[in-house]
Amino acid sequence: MDLRGRSVVLFGEFRSIGNTEAVHRLEALGARVTEAVTGETDLMFLATGEPGPIPRTEHMLRAPQFDEEALLGMLARGEGAAGPADEEPAPFLSRSAVPTDADAWYTLVAEADWSAFVPDRDLVPLRARLADLERHRGVTEAHRLATRRLRTTAAARLWHPFGHSAEIVGHAMSPDGRYLATGSWCPDGDYDAGGVLQIWEVASGRCVDTIPDVDGGVGWPGYGRTIQWSADGSRLAVAHATNVVGLWSPITHNVEPVATIDVSDGNSRPSSFALSPDGRSVYHHCTTNGDGGLQGCVVPLDRGALFWLPNHVTADHPYAMARGLSDDVREAFRHVEGHDDVGGWIENPVWSPDGTRLLGTNAICVDAGTRAVRWYVPASLAALGPDGHRVAVVTPDGLSFLDADSGRCEGGPFDLGTACTLRWADGRPNRLAVLTHGSDPVASFVHVFDAEQHTSSVAISHPRWRDGEERSGDRDMWAWAPDGNRAACLTDADTVELLSFADPVHPERLRAFPAEGARAVHWGAGDTIVLVADRRVRFVHAETGGVFGDFTLLRTPEGPSPVEGHDAYEYEPRTFPLDDRVWATTLEADVVVAPSDREEALDRVLTWAVGRRYAWPVRWGEPRVLADFRAAADLLDAEAGDVSG
């Protein structure tokens, strides 16, 4: 957020940089640092451990309060303190080298410069080439050697997928389709127990990171879009602690949020929010402008903590939505609300890809810079196209296409019946699916449009769900493939039906396979269909329907835990259900406590997680499986003693 022209007050001793330096750097960025909070104050920064002014005046209640970490973040961004980029080391393995036999592969892996190994660049192609070798030769010494190298140079560690201690209440696919994030609320409603956030690598169908103890749980049962990715997939915004939004950076391996905002004045349920494409600011659906202006605010979500009571704001503020509404917009609000004291909301907000506009499913478009309404068309549904140029809206007249910048109608209306879902195809920015439902004998359909032209309709018995419906959570019955030529749809028969629109005028039904209670379908990287239910996550090959990852959560095996007594609490996060009868536990290094002869079951569940971003098949590393926890612990102690000796 720009500090130019902002009136700022500092409270306390800023030990990280010193107050004098803080003032100097703020003023160099164009801020005005004053001694006292007045009606003109835009921001307050509180030093670490500083409670702020007591008693608080009304002026102080109106000013956003940032902590010291947030100040450091704003200064760094304002000064462009990104530092020189490190030169990327040369590839550790030649991309052109393709050995023809297992011995040559072993030599190549053994002679590779593993100090130059960069997981983000090198792991996926290496994994693909070794997978091809396995298809022809089985698991070889080359696979085992590569796994040993990953354990020592990339800190690969055994990881299980059963971190959730309550049902999944939120989930989101990263924009590139490579990762799925799932979140659970508090077990048995125990707010103090916290929630869990898990990251799954889609192409491998394995969990690669678990963030436990999320304060107050992730999201809330029945509330949707409580997990959102930044455009580049490096940041993850999560509603937690009922009304707080936190920002996590999975690639940093930090289980704590890097930033939080608390601007709802104690809402009893999560408020709608939208993470900006760059992942550094957020629109939050909070009460402001009690005179009937546009509600909500856009605030930094980059680093540190923000506390603010925007409902105390009585004048224009840099973070609040613009108070003034044009007469036609105000009249449209009044017509929809049915009374004079109206205020506009951005329902189910999303940002345009360039970060210049906000759009709601109620067809309201807001300029993110001026925070003023650009246009408003009273509608029951609206969806912004993936390129940000057009908006599909559903009004009583039917489906229409609007110019996203001006709100001018460019196509329609089309009378399609009762529209319940609008889904644009990322891979084909002009392609839209409109799902409608009818009542007997009228069938449910999906209607496909290309460049505002209706190309085909397919009768399909899909659920009667409606976008944005209250208490519906993150359920989603339609997913386009990344190429935009195929799609997957959940049906009333509890199946997933795959369709091809390669020829949009003559769509083709490809295949169907069981949905098994899934409430949402995603189509991700590696041509992978992901099915999410409250207690289950499944990964399916789109081409064959073959399942390569199937995880039923919250299972409690009949048998005893392998870890008892005082060790049970310490190893609880590493203990997991191997099936409905047996528990297992991962220890340090390559040891798993489980019954013997269960290697195949372990391979179906565990992975070597590399950098908490990538999965590596367990069978390629052959972990040691021991049936007794104490014996396994003694073995590791003895090996540690040998090393230290």
> How many CB atoms are closer than 10 A to CB 133?
20
| pLDDT (tens digit per residue) in 390-440 | 999 999 999 999 999 999 999 999 999 999 999 999 999 899 999 998 766
Q: What is the mean pLDDT of residues 577-582?
A: 94
Rounded to whole angstroms, how far apart are CA atoms 242 and 239? Answer: 7
212 pLDDT exceeds 50? yes
501 pLDDT band, cuts 50/70/90, is very high
This prediction has a pTM of 0.93
Q: Where do we find the tokens 């060790």?
A: 567
Classify strands 43-46 and 65-67 as parallel, antiparallel or unpaired: parallel
| Tokens read off for 3 | 């500090």
Contact in structure between 180 and 199 (CB atoms under 8 Å):
yes
642 pLDDT exceeds 70? no
| Tokens read off for 12 | 């306390």
Angle between helices 19-28 and 68-79 (to 10 degrees): 40
Residue 181 to residues 258, 400, 483, 537, 617, Cα–Cα distance (Å) = 17, 33, 22, 11, 20
Rounded to whole angstroms, how far apart are CA atoms 443 and 460? Answer: 7
| pLDDT computed for residue 250 by the predictor | 84
338 pLDDT band, cuts 50/70/90, is low
Round the average pLDDT of the chain to a whole number and report it. 91
DSSP 307-327: E--GGG--S--TTBPPS---H
Contact in structure between 200 and 194 (CB atoms under 8 Å):
no
Any idea of the CA torsion for 315, 318, 323, 327, to the nearest 10 degrees? 140
Q: What is the mean pLDDT of residues 565-589?
A: 88
504 pLDDT band, cuts 50/70/90, is very high
588 pLDDT band, cuts 50/70/90, is confident
* Residue 84 or residue 279, greater confidence: 279
251 pLDDT exceeds 80? no
| pLDDT (tens digit per residue) in 272-311 | 999 999 999 999 988 775 556 788 999 999 999 999 998 8
| pLDDT (tens digit per residue) in 116-170 | 899 999 999 999 999 999 999 999 999 999 999 999 987 899 999 999 999 999 9
| pLDDT computed for residue 52 by the predictor | 79
| pLDDT (tens digit per residue) in 457-495 | 999 999 988 887 777 889 999 999 999 999 999 999 999
Mean pLDDT highest for which of 104-108, 253-257, 501-505? 501-505
Q: What is the mean pLDDT of residues 441-458?
A: 91
| pLDDT computed for residue 81 by the predictor | 57
Rounded to whole angstroms, how far apart are CA atoms 39 and 362? Answer: 34
DSSP 127-177: HHHHHHHHHHH-S-HHHHHHHHHHHHHS--EEE-S---SS-EEEEEE-TTS
Contact in structure between 93 and 67 (CB atoms under 8 Å):
no
| pLDDT (tens digit per residue) in 165-203 | 999 999 999 999 999 999 999 998 888 899 999 999 999
3-state SS track over 536-549: EEEEEECCCCCEEE
| pLDDT (tens digit per residue) in 543-575 | 999 999 999 999 999 988 888 876 788 889 999
| pLDDT computed for residue 644 by the predictor | 37
Torsion-angle region of 345 (φ positive above 0: left; ψ -120 to 50: alpha; else: beta): beta
Position 512, amino acid = A
Rounded to whole angstroms, how far apart are CA atoms 181 and 211? Answer: 11
Write the CB contacts of 130 (distance below 8 Å, at least 6 apart in sequence): 105, 142, 143, 146, 620
Torsion-angle region of 178 (φ positive above 0: left; ψ -120 to 50: alpha; else: beta): alpha
Q: What is the mean pLDDT of residues 7-35?
A: 95
In 3-state terms, what secondary structure has residue 567?
A: helix
343 pLDDT exceeds 70? no
Contact in structure between 444 and 489 (CB atoms under 8 Å):
no
| pLDDT (tens digit per residue) in 64-76 | 999 999 999 999 9
Share of the chain above pLDDT 90, in %: 72
Rounded to whole angstroms, how far apart are CA atoms 145 and 155? Answer: 14
547-552, strands of its sheet edge to edge: 520-524, 528-533, 536-541, 547-552
Please name each of the domains of the chain with its CATH number: 7-79 (3.40.50.10190)
